[in-house]
Amino acid sequence: MPDRSLPSVSDVPRPSFTGFLAWRDLDHHVSLLYPREWNATGGVPIQLTPPPFAPCRAVVSVEARRLPTNVEPDDATILREGLEAGVRSIASAQIERSIADSVGAMVDLELEHSYVADPVGDGAGLTWRRWLRVMYLKDIQFTISAEAEDNGDFEYWRPAFLSIMRTAQFADWAAQATGRSWEAELSQDQELG
């Protein structure tokens, strides 16, 4: 008989958000929105995590860095091939979706895959799903990695992941609220509704 002491993810309503905060990288001029209820910790990369009372775990890692050379739109295919090769180097990785696109000078890569976690540590031996988005504009690389266990947890958090991924931009979200871009005196995580 199944253990009914804890609800399964399918029994739990989808997450809802009461607003968003703007995460901003003043050095690389990238930003994104994340659910107000989530926690932002760390330095580089920053880790976005659901609140402790959430029914299941997830983590989103966000990092921007300057490259030694500019990326051009014609580089999209080779960058996608390199990303796929890197993911395939994970012994258990299964690529589910991979796309490369360019809009103006920006190159945008997305890849979704599953993998079995290393046998040591938290989540060891479990199958996880990861959604990667890597965006390039000139010499800036902006990487977002969202992951959760592939037992329904990933699908539970997909709405949050989608919001984070689709609001990532090479522009300042705080300017939408304040009319001022990239000002250091604005709080790091600007409230946006």
Whole-number pLDDT of residue 1: 43
CATH number attached to the domain at 21-168: 3.40.1000.10
Burial (CB count within 10 angstroms: exposed 0-12, middle 13-18, buried 19+), residue 156: buried
Q: How far apart are CA 69 and CA 135, in angstroms?
A: 15
How far is residue 47 from each of residues 25, 42, 147, measured CA to CA in Å? 13, 6, 11
CB atoms within 10 A of CB 187: 10
Whole-number pLDDT of residue 123: 64
pTM (whole model) above 0.95: no
What are the sequence ranges of the domains in the chain?
21-168
Q: Which residues of the chain have pLDDT under 50?
A: 1-6
Could you read off the pLDDT of 60-78 as tens digits, one per residue?
999 999 999 999 999 999 9
Amino acid at 181: S
